[in-house]
Amino acid sequence: MPDWRRSGLAWLWLAILVIVVDLLTKWVAESQLIIYQQVPIIDGFFAITLAYNTGAAFSFLSDAGGWQRWFFIAVATGVSVMLLVWLARLPRQKKLESVALALILGGALGNLYDRIVHGHVVDFILVHWHDSWYFPAFNVADSAITVGAALLILDMFRSETKTEASKAK
């Protein structure tokens, strides 16, 4: 097994931070809000609300009858193990890739905790345009996964650009 200090595992603190912030904000939302109550933060654009999602992103499979909970638990567990192995094999110097993977791992584990303990994911961030358009509610874990995925794509393009530049020399 690689030395964790020299691998991407050195970035696990970031995954842990994501989990702590995610679970703390979900706890605050559940303790302070009534389901679907909207508390405007930026009028006409951003609010805090409490919603439960038994499905995946955008409530995909939320009305599937219960089996999806175990399916998403299995998927999140498998992905988390894969991300840990990836981080362990990744040199610590690959910072952007390591940060991206740590964010995705933290988000996956934050939502995995919800699925195991509550049977659903707690969402509370609501972005909308006045009363005419609403993006599905999400949480800190979802945000970390999205930012991590975007950074992973950015790193991929950056690596391709470096490879092309070195071939041109």
Give the active site residues. 123, 142
CA distances in angstroms from 41 to 13, 44, 49, listed in the order given: 30, 9, 10
CA 93, distance to chain mean position in Å, is 23
d(CA 140, CA 146): 10
DSSP letter string over 30-84?
HHH--TT--EEEETTTEEEEEEEESSSGGGTTTTS-SHHHHHHHHHHHHHHHHHH
Distance CA 5, CA 37 (A): 45
